[in-house]
Amino acid sequence: MSKDTGNRLWGGRFTGASDPLMDLYNASLPYDQKMYKADLFGTKIYTAGLNKLGLINDEELKEIHRGLLVIEEEWEQNKFEEKPGDEDIHTANERRLGEIIGKHIAGKVHTGRSRNDQVACDMRIYVRENLSELSKILAQFIDTIIKRSKEEIDVLMPGYTHMQRAQPIRWSHLLSSYATYFVEDYKRLQQIISRVNSSPLGVGALAGHPYGIDREFLATELGFESIIGNSLTAVSDRDFVIEVLFWSTLFMNHISRFAEDFIIYSTAEFGFLKLSDAYSTGSSLMPQKKNPDSLELLRGKSGRVFGGLAGFLMAYKSVPSSYDKDLQEDKEPLFDALTTVEHSILIATGIISTMEINKEKMEGALTMDMLATDLADYLVRKGVPFRETHHISGECVRLAEELKLSGIDQLTMEQFTSIDERFGDDVKDVFSFEVSVERRTAIGGTAKSAVLKQLEALQSEISK
């Protein structure tokens, strides 16, 4: 059995020793030490609130704040010494504070506070700060896509449905589609940051504060926008964790689709783009290989983040009211998701800013059969119903295939008119990829003007 439990925050009730395996099973310091700064900040403001109540005098408050600063410096310089009995970041910091300023004064910092509202407060501060940083690098990622889109606005390529060549589009139109997904992620992130930024501090273990602490003061000083109005909810709500995990999962799914396209387009069979060496690896056996490992990892890590969401949802669904230890399972998937998303954004930014595209390959993959819809549209403009023109255009494609022509543009005027007499000499004007994309000027289309409008609108969203 392990040492006596008397020195722990909850040890007074217990006389027996705890199982060493239980100590390990119960401990969260190995991962929640990430929140050391949030924990120290929360304690600094909470003790200022106790000072307002007269429960800590000015000299004691000054000493406490001095000790908290020493502890923060130790963490930042990797000099903080963990000791047996440090269950979590809260226990570790309070134990160390007692060593620095004496246990008598340090023992007052927890007056009226529970680890239940303390950890909820720490997590919200930590998540708020991390999401704010993610917001900045996500905006930079989107900006990188937009800049590249503008630079390569004149490059055409096949657009695909069902992974089959469909219609010609601009390369920038494809990039803009990714940016559109990521801007939606960016907007959702701002909403989540606001909901995370609500204070649970000052409600004790579950029933409220016994000394009437000023929760509005605590919230304002800690930078919270609002206060959670029910003490039971304040200590047990982890909806914000679920939201962050869901957001991370959705974002990683978008990144995965982005990566999948680029993996395909970087193959020798397509040859549309080439990753820089910084984001590729070689084969241990085949010296000619250049593998898109960065993109494959982006695709693979989306499953990791989703797994964290699914796991915590299952833990969270049966937790009864108020705080239960099950909620400790929130931190590892949360921290892992935040780290994974941050690294993924940075890697994706590096990929998009350094890769090379092969304009000749992209435009060389365009084939005249991709203009079959344009051929149908040609007759629509002459007053023929689209359902009829669709059939007529299909007949032209079939005839070109039967004659083994390289494309429908190789049909003669006699052959066109044999299918439908409404074809005129101007039908040849249809067979231009540039003309095809430039006809699509409506909002969201692939014409140059339409793509530029998309990019400006996206830029505006992240510049607000």
Show which residues are catalytic: 162, 283
SS3 280: coil
Radius of gyration of the chain from Cα atoms? 31
The C-alpha torsion from 254 through 255 and 256 to 258, rounded to 10°, is: 90
What Å distances lie between residue 234 and 77, 115, 318, 322, CA to CA? Answer: 33, 12, 17, 8
CA distance 221 to 283: 55
Distance from the Cα of residue 3 to its chain's centroid: 43
What Å distances lie between residue 350 and 118, 131, 141, 283, 342, CA to CA? Answer: 38, 20, 9, 22, 13
Token pair recorded at residue 273: 């783009």
H/E stretch holding 273: strand 273-274
Instruction: Please name which of 88, 93, 114, 84 lies closest in space to residue 28, comparing C-alpha atoms.
Output: 88
Indicate the angle between helix axes 115-151 and 448-463, nearest 10 degrees.
150
- Write the DSSP symbol of residue 6: T
Instruction: Please name which of 436, 413, 412, 362 lies closest in space to residue 167, comparing C-alpha atoms.
Output: 436
- Beta strands (DSSP E) in 103-251 are 156-161, 164-170, 198-199, 226-227
Token pair recorded at residue 228: 């959670």
Residue 157, beta-bridge partner list: 169
Residue in the structure block whose two tokens are 């004007």: 429
Contact 410, 397 (CB under 8 A): no
